[in-house]
Amino acid sequence: MPSLTFLGCQLFLAEDDVALLAPLSMLLCVLWLVADTCWPIAFGLHELGVPPELLIADLAVNAASIPASLALFVFSAHGRIMQPRRFPVAFQVAVLLRVALALLSIATSLALTLSALVPALASAMPQLSLAPMAFQGLWWGELTEGLSYQWSTLAAILYLILRWAVIYLAMTFILLISVPGLMGIRTIEWTLAAFGVGNHLIAAITEVMMSAIGKQTMTAVAPTDLTFGLMLVQARQGQGFLVDAEDFGGRQACCAESADEAEDILPQTTVRGCRLPTNEAAPRPFSRANQEDLAALNDIVRLEPYASGIYGVVIHLSSNSVYPGTSLPRPCGPCSSVLRTLPCCEPTQGGEDWEEEPVTEGDLCCALNQRTFRRNLHDAYKCFGETEPELLWATWKNRGPATSPPLAVLLDHAFQRVVVTIRGTMDFKDCISDLVASPAFFDPFGVALPEDRRSPPFDNETGLFAHQAVLLSAYDALARLEEANVLARAYGPAGRASGWPLVVTGHSLGAGVGCLLALMLRRDPRYTDVRFVGFEPPGGLLSKRLAKATQELGWVSAVCSYDWVPRLTMRSVQAIRKQALQELAACKRSKLQLALLQLGGLISHSGLLCCCLRSPLAGLLEWLGGGRLAFTSAGGSVTFADESDPEVPIPGSPDHWLTPCGGAEDDAQVPELWPPGLIAYFRPVHSEPWLCGYYMRDLEWVVEWIHPAHLSEIVLSLRAVELHFPNIIQHAYRQAARALGLAHDVVESDSELEASRS
């Protein structure tokens, strides 16, 4: 790929990147010209002490930058993505000229700012007399009569702030798209070290990132190349705006009245959000006649408030500020959510009859986390018509990276069980635990033979291993429980939970830590019945052998549609990267064309513009982008009709672009990890458009049992992030329970839930 060496640093800036930047550069120069000639801003700069000569110099630089940017665009707006080409001499001259003008623009911005901030400096500047009297009279004469000094000065100050903000963003963007990935890895290492992360954790994180992304990819592919490759993969999955609304039956197909109807219109990836391997069992829907299915769903619905409540005040505020089942804020929602957290607005709860006061550690002032945790459980159990659980002990202390997230122990008197709930990712420490994804030996059943490996590489079929940082966090959680002595007192001879089952639950990272903690607690003879119910657990948690063992125990993990966390493994990242590089090698369009197609799809899918404007504008952008990308669907796979075979590399492209980590052998060395337990998969079958079609609100959900291998594909969709939020998954679980006919007192309707939050 072409590169540019600047100040001794090799910048990976492809020619088609210049084609993307040149129109943006022209637009900015036009905006600066308009702002410089806007008389309120000019008058404000004059009142701040900026000489007219300096403003005219800035006008000249911006005016000269427009044709320079246009020349760059003409030279670079052709060819195809990832096409190795030589820079012509004229192009190099245009680049140097534009860089010089950009530096002059930064210099004039600095001079404008300094002269405005330091009036004495402006008075000391040489008066070049570049401004004719008529030009000065146009600005400072009749047009400024009656203009408020305060408003014009404020406009000038905001203009200067905006200019520096744009300069900062532009420089950051250029560095991000041009600096090689290895430099980004070094930056991450320096950042982690600055936050006090140990060298062994930094080394583990670096190893994971190098294995997932690939060293050759980092040094041979620009970040923008990989971004557009992922955009093409997203289109193949039936997601995003590169997909034409008519190719898969339109977005309204997502609103099909039944799952079977939707499957006839959309590819499997879009409908189910998971890949369905032919060698694995097909998904089995939950049945009203199957008591085990209903019992599992009942546990999911009743234990979810524990997993979301342990997040404390932050999630409580965000979840109660939005419409049910969405991420869109309600009118006055944030205000009402804040009021509900105040101690004076706290309703009467069942804690008055508790035999002992809960012990909490590391809480915020006024015990906000404890109060919102109890409030969440109070609201849920009030809906269930049952007694609120008793909080025995909770900690919100942060012990540093690779340690346990906050956790709590409660007595559920209604079901006579002890519940241990663990929080998910919420701070920087938890992010470190997520990143250290290398495998570590773990034998909770004591079945390892002397010849079994205790260190990588592990055997995929017989190996006993788990996510390293999650395992360290689980050991720390066990140590915290032993230090608090809370379970020993509850299950002691005089304990109130003697003979009760012990249920461990959690969301996201908390689900992963909870599963490993439950496996550790099973070895203690005091706990005769240890269960686990997790919500959106990490996909790369357990080896196949351990995951199958948790399935035999009847443990359950709930996964919500496209949620990316249960799908995120080393292998899934490698697979999505390989697909992106294959798309890049086969694509005949440039990045500019793909960007125009993306913008055209965004306009055509929205209802913001009327049809008489939307269709012509979208059609014009599609024409400029080389025409829409035609799709064909066969057997669940989606292919580009106008693209070449993705397995055939373009002439001159490196062979390693098509193989992650140098080849398939490197993929085989990465161990395969699965989520724990039996997978209860929730997916929407009926939706409605909001915000002019830009947002889809899911109304009806179904649940089915799937195989862990069905989650081997990451779905590239913004919904993949949203579907991980506690308020979204709570809505999905409860709507699926309503569809299966669970009692009304178990779940609330959207109107009842919204009324209770108001």
**Which pLDDT tens digit goes with each residue over 317-341?**
888 888 888 888 888 877 877 777 7
659: pLDDT strictly greater than 60: no
Indicate if the pLDDT at residue 383 is higher than 50.
Answer: yes
Write a three-state SS string for 333-363.
Answer: HHHHHHHHHCHHHCCCCHHHHCCCCCEEECC
pLDDT at 556 over 60: yes
Mean pLDDT across 105-127: 70
Total-model pTM: 0.80
* Band of pLDDT at residue 614, cut at 50, 70 and 90: confident
Model pLDDT, residue 88: 66
Give yes or no for residue 747 having a pLDDT over 60.
no
pLDDT band at 275 (very low <50, low <70, confident <90, very high): low
618 burial via Cβ count (<10 Å: 0-12, 13-18, 19+): buried
Per-residue model confidence as pLDDT tens digits over 32-85: 888 888 877 877 787 777 888 888 888 889 888 888 888 888 777 666 666 655
**Higher pLDDT, residue 358 or 556:** 556
pLDDT band of 131, cuts 50, 70, 90: very low
Q: What is the pLDDT of residue 405?
A: 92
Angle of CA points 356, 357, 358, to nearest 5°: 115
- pLDDT over threshold 50, residue 511: yes
Residue 475 tokens read as 């050991």
Direct distance between the N- and C-terminal alpha carbons of the chain, in angstroms, rounded to an integer: 57
pLDDT, residue 286, reads 93
Closest CA to 701 of 324, 282, 322: 324
Backbone angles phi, psi at 258, to 5 degrees: -140, 160
Round to whole Å and give the CA distance between 347 and 334.
Answer: 19
Residue 394's pLDDT band, with cuts at 50, 70 and 90, is very high
Alpha carbon distance 559, 683 (integer Å) = 9
pLDDT band (50, 70, 90) for residue 112? confident
Q: Residue 660 has what pLDDT?
A: 35
Dihedral sign (CA 480, 483, 489, 492): positive
Computed over every residue of the chain, the mean pLDDT equals 77
pLDDT at 421: 96
Average pLDDT over every residue of 626-652:
47
The beta-strand segments (E) located in 525-662 are 530-535, 542-543, 556-560, 631-634, 637-640
pLDDT of residue 146 exceeding 90: no
Percent of the chain at pLDDT > 90 equals 23
User: What average pLDDT score do residues 130-149 get?
Assistant: 44
> Worst-scoring range by mean pLDDT, 120-129, 447-456, 527-536?
120-129
Tokens at residue 50, please? 């900026």
Q: What is the pLDDT of residue 48?
A: 78
Q: Is the pLDDT of residue 672 over 90?
A: no
**1: three-class secondary structure by DSSP:** coil
- The amino acid occupying position 216 is Q
> What are the tens digits of pLDDT across the range 25-35?
888 888 888 88
pLDDT at 663 over 50: no
Q: Kindly state the percentage of the chain with pLDDT values over 70.
A: 74
pLDDT in tens, 181-220: 556 667 777 777 777 777 777 777 777 777 777 766 666 6
pLDDT of residue 279: 56
Q: What is the mean pLDDT of residues 506-515?
A: 95
What is the pLDDT at residue 140?
41
